[in-house]
């Protein structure tokens, strides 16, 4: 209950932010944090909870951006176009989910990486040009509606993952992650739950792609399909703590802030820095930053003095 109240208070503060802070830079940072939170949580459902390491999320992200921009240029309101973007990603995941889950372990990761590369190359060939938003939007470009869309989608995503974290569905995902053969032996239909995990993951990735298309005024069509959108959520979830609700949020905050600092001071070298950070995180912090916080909390608990009247003996 305490965590829920704290989360609601934070959401209210963020909702009031545009009324207090007018600096475009700050609003941009929060939008990016929300965007990466959505994308990393979409990967977290499939990779963190279900244990299926996907490197193909750029395909779902990209198709969401593509469909959103197409519907938006037809005059459909942004929130309805966003729903269309997420549904298109869900349908794509449903189509590829059945053959993809015939692969296991690193074969699944390689297969989804191949899907990402095929998607990127295909879009570059079919849509070589630049995508522009509707003229009426471009003339009145404003970050505030984008900010509230980003915040809304991020809150919905965190709420969904929090629900999964406490549900039987989420428990089935974790059982598959921990020991797939044992999960099958106790009657869990692993194939069914992996497909459900894939569709939920893709649905959220489609929302992220639609948000990206709403946020970035113009871009080459292939940009949302680039492999970075497949690798970044893996990095963010690993830094923050995969398989947790707060981990991708914390990882997104750290990632966006460090990326801003490194991009200014180091340029393209920031990619190498993040690669080194990822390696050290995997080797020495398998639970990510959440693991550090849990360790600190455990130390504090051990150091708490006993109340009067309580004798450990």
Long-range contacts of 169-174 (CB under 8 A, 24+ apart): 169/193, 169/196, 170/49, 173/45, 173/49, 173/50, 173/197, 174/49, 174/50, 174/243
Q: Which two tokens stand for residue 145?
A: 């509606």
Tens digit of each residue's pLDDT (9 = 90 or more) over 155-184: 999 999 999 999 999 999 999 999 988 999
Tens digit of each residue's pLDDT (9 = 90 or more) over 194-224: 989 999 999 999 999 999 999 998 899 999 9
What is the structure's pLDDT at 301? Answer: 57
Cα-based distances in Å from 259 to 32, 77, 252, 262: 11, 32, 10, 5
What is the structure's pLDDT at 265? Answer: 66
> What distance in Å separates the CA atoms of residue 269 and residue 25, rounded to the nearest whole number?
23
Judge whether 161 and 173 are in contact, CB under 8 Å: no
Bridge partners of residue 131, in order along the sequence: 219
What is the structure's pLDDT at 171? Answer: 94
Judge whether 164 and 41 are in contact, CB under 8 Å: no
Q: pLDDT tier at 99 (50, 70, 90 boundaries)? A: confident
Tens digit of each residue's pLDDT (9 = 90 or more) over 30-51: 999 999 999 999 999 999 999 9
Q: Give DSSP secondary structure letters for 172-213.
A: HHHHHHH-HHHHHHTT--HHHHHHHHHHHHHHHHHHHHHHHH
Q: pLDDT tier at 96 (50, 70, 90 boundaries)? A: confident
Judge whether 90 and 203 are in contact, CB under 8 Å: yes
What is the structure's pLDDT at 95? Answer: 81
Which of 232, 238, 194, 4 has its CA nearest to residue 100? 194
> What distance in Å separates the CA atoms of residue 115 and residue 97, rounded to the nearest whole number?
12
Q: pLDDT tier at 309 (50, 70, 90 boundaries)? A: very low
- What average pLDDT does the segment 252-259 reach? 90
What is the structure's pLDDT at 313? Answer: 42
What is the share, in percent, of the chain residues with pLDDT greater than 70? 91
Q: Which two tokens stand for residue 54?
A: 């996907």
Which of 192, 222, 208 has its CA nearest to residue 94? 192
In this predicted structure, which of 3-17, 127-141, 216-230 has the lowest mean pLDDT? 127-141
User: How many helices (DSSP H) and strands (DSSP E) are in the chain?
Assistant: 14, 2
Place of tokens 């360790």: 295
Domain boundaries, the chain: 2-226
């Amino acid at each position: 209950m305490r965590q829920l109240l704290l989360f609601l208070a934070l959401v209210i503060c963020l909702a009031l932010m545009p009324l207090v802070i007018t600096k475009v830079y700050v609003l941009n940072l929060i939008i990016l944090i929300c965007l990466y939170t959505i994308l990393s949580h979409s990967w977290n459902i499939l990779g963190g909870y279900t244990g299926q390491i996907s490197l193909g999320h750029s395909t779902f992200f990209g198709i969401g951006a593509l469909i959103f921009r197409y519907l938006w240029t037809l005059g459909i309101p942004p929130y309805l176009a966003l729903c269309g973007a997420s549904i298109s990603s869900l349908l794509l995941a449903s189509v590829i989910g059945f053959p993809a889950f015939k692969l296991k372990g690193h074969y699944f990761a390689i297969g989804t990486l191949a899907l990402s590369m095929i998607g990127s190359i295909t879009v570059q060939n079919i849509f070589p040009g630049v995508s522009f938003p509707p003229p009426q939007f471009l003339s009145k470009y404003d970050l505030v509606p984008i900010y509230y869309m980003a915040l809304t989608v991020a809150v919905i995503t965190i709420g969904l993952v929090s629900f999964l974290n406490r549900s039987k569905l989420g428990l089935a995902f974790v059982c598959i992650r921990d020991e797939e053969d044992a999960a099958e032996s106790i009657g869990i239909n692993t194939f069914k739950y992996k497909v459900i995990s894939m569709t939920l993951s893709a649905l959220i990735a489609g929302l992220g792609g639609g948000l990206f298309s709403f946020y970035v005024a113009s871009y080459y069509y292939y940009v949302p399909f680039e492999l970075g959108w497949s690798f970044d959520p893996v990095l963010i979830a690993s830094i923050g703590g995969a398989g947790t609700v707060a981990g991708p949020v914390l990882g997104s905050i750290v990632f966006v802030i460090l990326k801003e600092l490194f991009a200014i001071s180091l340029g393209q070298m920031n990619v190498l820095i993040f690669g080194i950070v990822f390696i050290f995180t995997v080797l020495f912090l398998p639970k990510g930053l959440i693991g550090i916080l849990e360790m600190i909390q455990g130390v504090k608990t051990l150091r708490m003095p006993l109340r009067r009247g309580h004798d450990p003996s």
